[in-house]
Structure 1
Amino acid sequence: MNYDIFNGDADGIIALLQLRLASPQQNKLITGVKRDINLVGQVDAAAGEKLTVLDISMEKNIDGVKRALSNGAEVFYADHHRSGEIPVHENLQAMIDLDANTCTALIIDQLLEGQFHEWAITAAYGDNLITKADQLAADAGLTKAEAEQLKELGTLINYNGYGAKIDDLHFHPANLYGSLLKYLSPLDVIADKASPFGQLQQAYQSDMEEALAVPANYRSELLSVYLLPDAAWARRIGGVYGNLLANQGPDSAHAVLTENADGSYLVSLRAPLSNKQGAGDICSQFITGGGRAAAAGINKLPKDKLSSFIDAVEGFYKA
């Protein structure tokens, strides 16, 4: 058996989408909510089997990768998050690019020589690489209206991945991937009234209205912090709300915190768009934290560590 292992957000879904549109395969799908990134460990691969791993940190999955390789499996790994030390092995093909202005779907786009380029642009929008995606859309000859459509779809696919558990989501990421696999172009998704687009659009608007009604809990020149309640809508909207805030205030960092059932905080941190670095390093200072330079998070930040988190963010960007 072969496995497709991917992040449940827009980048992970669309990275796999491109690969399987180019090379159709019926592999076992391993995915989950966006924060569920320890996915390779769920697979006990045997010799001759192949793992395709997309948009999850190799650093967080290194034990599973090494076990698969030692069992004789082949691993293809594409990602843009913190990788740690990449093993050297004849059965490992690693395409890792930590540039803050790329994403996994763009790495796959290069591999496929732009075969499904509009999908890759959609993923870039979903991963909040707005300037990069705008340039790619213009270079591809898309109209501004078409680019806005891809931006909305990418945002909606990304929005669907956020939640503490699968029940928080509108679509299981594997099911959403399966629904989107029917479309060669993302514009076809938007044109089809029976696609997931309409349902996600309506749900996103409802959840965003709830978030916009919550005032900042803390604000300085370097950082704004928003605290959202322990509610499904808050868990769904937190990440894309952080992206929205980052685009509205590009010279400041933004953190959206959602209360977990155990009283801790789920943290989504966005680096200033004018200084897209440090988010992953900051969050990695805390247990359950990690991510990439421009966007990162902490799954369970104890409430008594909130002030330490604020100090860490402001200390980094003050330097």
Structure 2
Amino acid sequence: MHFDVFNGDADGIIALVQLRLAQPKDSHLITGVKRDISLLKQVRAQEAESATVLDISLEKNSEALQSLLAHGVEVLYVDHHRAGDIPRDDKLKTIINTDANTCTSLLVNELLQGKYANWAIAAAFGDNMKAAARTLAQEVGLTKAQQELLEALGIYINYNGYGRDLDDLHFHPAELFKLLVEYSDPLELVADSNSVFATLQRAYQQDMAKAESARVLFDGPSCKVVLLADEAWARRVSGVFGNELANASPDKAHAVLTLNADLSYTVSVRAPLNNKQGADNICVQFPTGGGRAAAAGINHLPQEKLEAFIEAVSQYYLA
């Protein structure tokens, strides 16, 4: 049995879309909400012959990976997050690049020599890597209007991945993958009035309108911190709202906090777009924190740690 293990955001889903368009394969899909990254432990080593792992940190899945390799499972691992120590094993092939200007779908695009570049462009837009997305779009000759459509699609797919649990999402990421992989070109999907594009567009616009009233907890020279309520719509927009804030003020870091039922916070951090580094270094200082240089998060930040968190972000990015 083959297992496809992938992050439930735009980058993870679209990376798999590209691979399965190029290399169709019956597989068992393992995914979840965007913040559910300890996914590899769900692979049943005794049943697995091979696995493809996309857009989840090797560092956070190291123990499960070692177990699969010990059982002789062949693993392809493609990612752009913190990797930690990468095992040396003939059964493991890794394509890992933690540069702040790349993402898993762009790495897959290179692997496939640009065969489904439009999908990679949508994913890069969804991961808020606008410069990289536009560069690739220009290389393949897309018009500005086509780029705008792929940007919208990427954002909506990414938006769908955020939530406390799967019940918060409009589409289960595995279901969304199956709907997307029916289209070899995402522009065809956008043009199809019966596709998921229109559904996600309406939901996104409704939720983002509510986010405009977010409470500002801190707004200093180097960072801005906002708070969203303990509601499903707020959990859905936490990441894309952070991207919107980052795009509006590219010299500042931004943190979007969403209140949890236990009065802790789920935190989404965006490094300044003009200084895309350090978000992971900040978040790993706190339990349940992780991510990558340009964008990171904390799953459960206790209220008593809020002041320390704001201080850490503010001080890190002061000139």
- 1:174-189, aligned counterparts within 5 Å? 174-189=174-189
Residues 48 and 286 (structure 1 numbering): CA distance in 2 closer, same or farther, change over 3 Å?
closer
Does the 8 Å contact 1:47/1:71 carry over to 2?
A: no
1:245-304 Cα shifts (integer Å, max 9, x gaps):
000000000000000111110000000000000001110111000000000000000011
Matching residue's letter, 1:253: A
Deviates more, 1:298-307 or 1:130-139: 130-139
Aligned-residue offset at 1:48 = 6.5
2:34/2:163 contact within 8 Å kept: yes
Moved over 4 A (4+): none
Q: What are the superposed Cα offsets for residues 40-97 of structure 1, whole Å, 9 maximum, x if unpaired?
A: 0111223871010000000000000000000111111000000001010000001100
Report if aligned partners of 2:221, 2:318 keep a CA contact under 8 Å in 1: no
Q: Hey, what does 2:212 align to over in structure 1?
A: 212
Distance 2:107 2:183 in 1: 20
Q: Which amino acid aligns with 1:204?
A: Y
Q: Partner of 1:55 in structure 2?
A: 55
Distance 1:28 1:47, change over 3 A: closer
TM-score computed with the length of structure 1 as normaliser: 0.99
SS in 2 for 1:217: strand
* Number of the residue aligned with 2:271: 271
Q: Give the counterpart letter for 1:5 in structure 2.
A: V
CA contact (8 A) 1:47 1:72 kept: no
CA distance in structure 2 between the aligned counterparts of 1:194 and 1:287, rounded to whole angstroms? 43
Is 1:262 matched up with 2:262?
Answer: yes
Whole-angstrom CA distance in 1 between matches of 2:47 and 2:147: 44
Match of 1:108 in 2: 108
SS at match of 1:136: helix
Q: Assess if the C-alpha contact under 8 Å between 2:3 and 2:48 holds in 1.
A: no
* Residues 47 and 73, structure 1, Cα contact 8 Å, conserved in 2: no
Provide the rounded CA distance (Å) in 2 between the counterparts of 1:47 and 1:138. Answer: 44
Measured in 1, the distance between the counterparts of 2:47 and 2:259 equals 43
Provide the residue aligned with 2:151 in structure 1.
151
Aligned counterparts, 1:105-184, within 5 A? 105-184=105-184
SS at match of 2:317: helix
Secondary structure of the corresponding residue to residue 109 of structure 2: helix
Corresponding residue for residue 237 of structure 2: 237
Residue 6 of structure 1 pairs with residue 6 of structure 2: yes
Task: Write out per-residue CA displacement over residues 143-183 of structure 1, whole angstroms, 9 at most, x where no aligned residue.
Answer: 00000000000000000000000000000000000000100
For the 8 Å contact 1:11–1:127, the answer to whether it is kept is yes
Indicate the SS of the match to 2:297: strand
Q: Deviations over 1:187-216 (max 9, x none)?
A: 011101111000100000000000012242
- Residue 26 of structure 2 is matched in structure 1 by 26
Q: Distance in 1 between matches of 2:251 and 2:124?
A: 21
* CA deviation vs aligned residue, 1:200-247 (integer Å, no higher than 9, x gap): 000000000000122422100111011000000000001000000000
Match of 1:205, SS state, is helix
* CA-CA distance at 1:114 after TM superposition: 0.3
Please report the TM-score for the alignment, with normalisation by the length of structure 2: 0.99
Give me the identity figure in percent. 58
